[in-house]
Structure 1
Amino acid sequence: MDTATTANRTVAPQEQQVRRPFFSEKAKTVAGSLAFLVFFLVAWQWGPGWIGMPEFILPNLTAVIKEAGVMWTSGNLLQHFGITALEVVFGFLLGALLGIGCGVVLGLSPRTEAMLSPYILALQIAPKVAFAPLFVMWLGYTVYPKIIVAVLIVFFPIMINVLSAVRTVDPDMINLVRTLNASRFQIFRLVEFRSAMPALFSGLRIASTLSVIGVTVGELVGGNKGLGYMLVEGEGQGNTAAVFVAICALTIIGIVAYGAVVWAERRVLHYIPKATTTTV
């Protein structure tokens, strides 16, 4: 009997080791993502030629890479990239701070929300493209109109997320903290703001991509620097490859901004179980 039990104990780990998959789920996900990227690049490289698409309409990958090299050496691509990236960062940060502040104030004061919500909603409904020429007329061809457009676009989703999260805080938690003689600021810091953090980062994820859109709109309407300006310049010259280079550069900025928010979320919300956090 002891011999059989010992044999079973020695065989069980071996069976578990054999049943263990060769590739983990994360490795399969990465491999599938890379396979899709390779397929996309291959289709971009040879697809236009297969369907007989002229290069001035849809340039292949090689033509776009060559144009990127030309723009890097002679077209100040890095300078325009840096200007747009800085505008995105400042527009995102200012819009996030404004959205967090307004969301907290409106969430804690229903009367203030009732008074100001119609005007905030009207500002959100108004097309931001229509404001961009006004900002250019008021502030000139500087970075400020682009940053303001980005702030307007970033502000609303963050404000709504924070407001909703503050409103839905568990009242039992607030009453519990009050029984411990906590001040109003301590209640906000320990309960209300902490409860709003997951919703805040969800809004920040959305806002990180919208900030790129806002800056690009501002540069398209009235810019003499930045990737949006390079888009307009490439369109005016009929240089489709340059337009694709600017689009790819804007995409890179958006991906980096989104990745930075995800990294900060994982650092700040490390105490929340993964099952309740949002996925990438």
Structure 2
Amino acid sequence: MKKELSTWIASGGVLLVFLAIWQWGPAALGMPEYVFPKFSRVVQEAIHMWNNSDLLGHFWITTLEVVIGFILGSLLGIFFGVVLGLSPRTEAVLSPYILALQIAPKVAFAPLFVMWLGYTIYPKILVAILIVFFPVMINVLSAVRTVDPDMVNLVRTLNAGRVQIFRLVEFPSALPSLFSGLRIAATLAVIGVTVGELVGGNKGLGFLLVDGEGQGNTAAVFVAIAALTLVGLVAYWAVIWLERRVLHYIPKANVTTV
């Protein structure tokens, strides 16, 4: 308990030092506020955007896009990870196409999705799905492939069928790797949605970021970046929270390093 308290105090101290440098550092270096606004100016701009630019509404739109893209991309990654992990032949057939999809720059798909689906939430969600899919799929596939064969044989000696082997041995063994992929995917989903909003958005935090840049309002850009960071942190912490409850039987040091 004391160790955790000291960790929180140290972390809070680092934050205070960072905010102090942000507040007085730019002026000390002679930076004008239109180049690097001080912290209090960014807070003032956040209050202004909250009251006049519907900052909260844009925040929730981006959050919704992140959540939907993360969930759908993760489900697709789990499905293909399991299928390819259980069937090497299927992996041999599909892996070149999946690899090509991963190598293709996701930013390049965003304008195409906007042309197809218009200025809606769907292009942003699709970009998030593409980015989230691969790390989840790779982690699940690797975990399914490395299941202890002795455990599988043991369950088979008890007359377990294929579905039972997967439910009792393979899937539980893949859970730690799955959550490792989900932690990565939670942050990548924010990147995917932001890319979609930057390319073709009329709502969301990415739109506010572009709008602030167009007006030369550096403080508004910082507000949008801070809000996007908050979305990513909440998504990441939500995965950690779920992981600790699903994998409660694993020692904490092995569940997460954060």
Sort the TM-score into its range (normalised by shorter chain): over 0.9
Equivalent in the alignment of 1:87 = 65
1:196 aligns with 2:171: no
Match of 1:76 among 54, 57, 73: 54
AA matched with 2:69: G
1:143 aligns with 2:133: no
Q: Secondary structure at the match of 2:160?
A: coil
* Alignment coverage as a number of residue pairs: 258
1:43 aligns with 2:46: no
Equivalent in the alignment of 2:5 = 27
Deviation string 1:190-212 (CA, Å, 9 cap, x unpaired) is 10000000000000000000000
Greater radius of gyration (CA) = 1
Q: Secondary structure at the match of 1:206?
A: helix
1:222 aligns with 2:200: yes
Structure 1 position 25, deviation (Å): 2.0
The answer to whether the 8 A contact 2:26-2:38 is kept is: yes
Cα distance in structure 2, aligned partners of 1:27 and 1:224: 43
Cα distance in structure 2, aligned partners of 1:82 and 1:273: 35
Cα distance in structure 1, aligned partners of 2:172 and 2:78: 13
Structure 1 position 29, deviation (Å): 1.4
Equivalent in the alignment of 2:146 = 168
Q: Secondary structure at the match of 2:154?
A: helix
Cα distance in structure 1, aligned partners of 2:115 and 2:238: 33
Match of 2:233 among 255, 258, 261: 255
1:129 aligns with 2:107: yes
AA matched with 2:74: A
The answer to whether the 8 A contact 2:244-2:255 is kept is: no
Equivalent in the alignment of 2:155 = 177
Structure 1 position 41, deviation (Å): 0.5
Q: Structure 2: 5+ residue runs without aligned partners?
A: none
Between 86-95 and 30-39, the greater mean CA deviation after superposition: 30-39
Equivalent in the alignment of 1:57 = 35
TM-score normalised by length of structure 1: 0.91
Cα distance in structure 1, aligned partners of 2:251 and 2:235: 24
Structure 1 position 183, deviation (Å): 1.1
Cα distance in structure 2, aligned partners of 1:275 and 1:84: 32
Cα distance in structure 1, aligned partners of 2:124 and 2:77: 18
CA RMSD of aligned residues (A): 0.8
AA matched with 1:83: I
Identity between Structure 1 and Structure 2 (%): 74
